[in-house]
Amino acid sequence: MRKPIQLKLESSSSPLINNTECRLISEINSIKSDSIDYWIIQESDQDTIKELIHAIRRHPAPAVYLRAIVLLSNQNDSLKLYVDAQRDTNIFDQTTSDDLSSKFEALNQWIEKIPNPLEHSDINISLKALRLIASRDTEITPIMTTQAHSGYDYPAISTMFEKDDSALFDTLAFLEDQRLLSSRFVTKTHLCGQCNSAFINFKETCPDCKSENIKADELIHHFKCAYTGEFSEFVFGDELICPKCDRRLHHIGVDYDKPSSIFRCGNCANSFQEPEISSTCFSCGRSSKPENLTLQTINAFSATSIGHNAAIYGLESLFSNILETELNLFTHTAFKDFIKIEVSRTERYKITNSTFVIAQFTNLESLYVSLGKRAEEVFSELSAIFKSILRQSDIISARNESVFFMILTETDTAQAKIAIDRLTSGVTQLFENNLDYSPKILTRIEKIDGQLDVEKSLELLLENDVH
Ligand SMILES: [Zn+2]
Ligand SMILES: [Zn+2]
Ligand SMILES: [Zn+2]
């Protein structure tokens, strides 16, 4: 059974955030984060609580930054949105602690699926954000706040980011673009076209001299004599009297109405019906017309099925991981050992034939994007095709994301060509059926003997591609 770990700063009065952060990080590093259930923060000072949350969420190791944070506090703390749970300090006992442990059990199991969650360090902020969202398996929703420059914040993940919140919005847009996150419309907001600030002062101005010193007055239309004039012309003490026909006005809608308003400029005395609207940014001071403001859509986000997969295995190795579940994919080092064994085996017996094959699929990465949700399904069909042409004794390895090395044992180059033709036509058909897209597949087939240099073969294959 793992335990919760309580983080507490000895001197929370230190104004030097960086120093505090350093101390905290060394404190976090000294804890075996793979042996704990969740972090506990018990502090009264709001800034200290924030520092502790930042130090955890900005830590590079998944076992640290993904771990749940529980805030212990007596008041209904506004910072509770930034952590995974809040509990009352007074009633925090063993039962509460055990309840929290089981609450976060699924999350902790998720973290364990990441290869090396303790030593591994995530420096890619997009991957970190994706992992935090996918590990909670929930939708992250925006809140309206004056604390954020753009007026909106995603408390579930924003503590990972440095002060500048444009990185937060850029990251979410990138992940959505890659179809790793899907979005749900929440609202729209106007932002300064220059600095993306949400804090904008809208003003009505005189269309002639641009002065803000304008006053609105209502127009009155007297039905009896058809006179129309400004409200102020009709006011005599407590009564409204028509300045043209001197009759008293009684009931709006019966003997008069107010058809519209009129504005008068205190600067140039111009009168007009439609003032101009101008906007001034509180942050950078830029004035512009409202149509030049940025209209930003504010969405809620959740991980797609492909996003869930990429969150565990990383953004780069999605395809090879799907293949790995279907095929026995060997590492490159192991593959080179197999080549050596095959070379010495064929050299010694002279009668066996084995063939080395390289297959390169171009634009495989862009396929994740165009396939979106169906990527996992299509890639597992793809591995089924591989499986159908490879025999148990054949060896396959991914050189990188798009290049595959294979050893077809007891197969001569002519037989290998037939197999590889079947592979390419199967793959082509799969992509054409699903995507209206013909993949470019390059292959190279070579007899395995003492002359074989796999890296040189790859070079030759890629060179051919250029010409
Ligand atoms: Zn004016
Ligand atoms: Zn009148
Ligand atoms: Zn601005």
pLDDT values of the chain reduced to their tens digit, one per residue, 467 residues? 455 555 554 433 333 333 444 445 556 666 665 667 888 888 888 888 888 898 889 888 888 899 999 988 877 678 889 999 998 888 888 888 889 889 999 999 999 888 777 766 676 788 899 999 999 989 999 999 998 899 999 999 999 988 666 788 888 988 887 778 999 999 999 999 988 999 999 999 999 999 999 998 889 999 999 999 999 899 999 999 999 999 999 999 999 999 888 899 999 989 898 999 999 999 999 998 988 999 999 999 999 887 888 888 776 555 666 666 667 778 788 888 999 988 888 888 777 788 999 988 876 655 655 565 566 677 778 888 888 888 888 888 877 667 889 999 888 999 999 999 999 998 888 888 876 667 788 899 999 988 888 888 888 888 876 54
Q: Which amino acid is at 363?
A: N
Token code pair at residue 22: 């350093």
Q: Which CATH architecture has domain 1-122?
A: 3-Layer(aba) Sandwich (3.40)
Token code pair at residue 171: 């990251």
Q: How far is the CA of 269 from the centre of ligand 2 (A)?
A: 25
Give every CB contact of residue 379 below 8 A, 6+ residues apart in sequence. 318, 319, 322, 323
Q: How far is the CA of 296 from the centre of ligand 3 (A)?
A: 14
Q: How far is the CA of 229 from the centre of ligand 1 (A)?
A: 20
Q: Where are the extended beta strands (E) located within 282-367? A: 287-288, 294-303, 329-330, 355-361
Q: How far is the CA of 178 from the centre of ligand 1 (A)?
A: 51
pLDDT at 302: 96
Closest CA to 55 of 16, 31, 22: 22
pTM, two decimals, is: 0.62
Please name the residue that has the structure tokens 């009633």: 91
Q: Which amino acid is at 207?
A: P
Q: How far is the CA of 220 from the centre of ligand 2 (A)?
A: 10
Which residue ranges make up each domain of the chain? 1-122, 207-274, 316-466
pLDDT at 436: 67
Token code pair at residue 316: 């780069």
pLDDT at 6: 59
pLDDT at 225: 95
| 416: enclosing H helix or E strand | helix 413-435
CATH of 316-466, one of 3.10.580.10, 3.40.640.10, 3.30.70.270, 3.40.50.1370: 3.30.70.270
SS3 of residue 5 by DSSP: strand
**Residues bordering ligand 1, an ion, CB closer than 5 Å:** 206, 208-209, 211, 265, 267-268, 270
| 267: enclosing H helix or E strand | none
Q: How far is the CA of 336 from the centre of ligand 3 (A)?
A: 58
Domains 1-122 and 316-466 share a fold: no
Are the beta carbons of 9 and 43 closer than 8 angstroms?
yes
Spatial distance between the Cα atoms of 146 and 149, rounded to a whole number of angstroms: 7
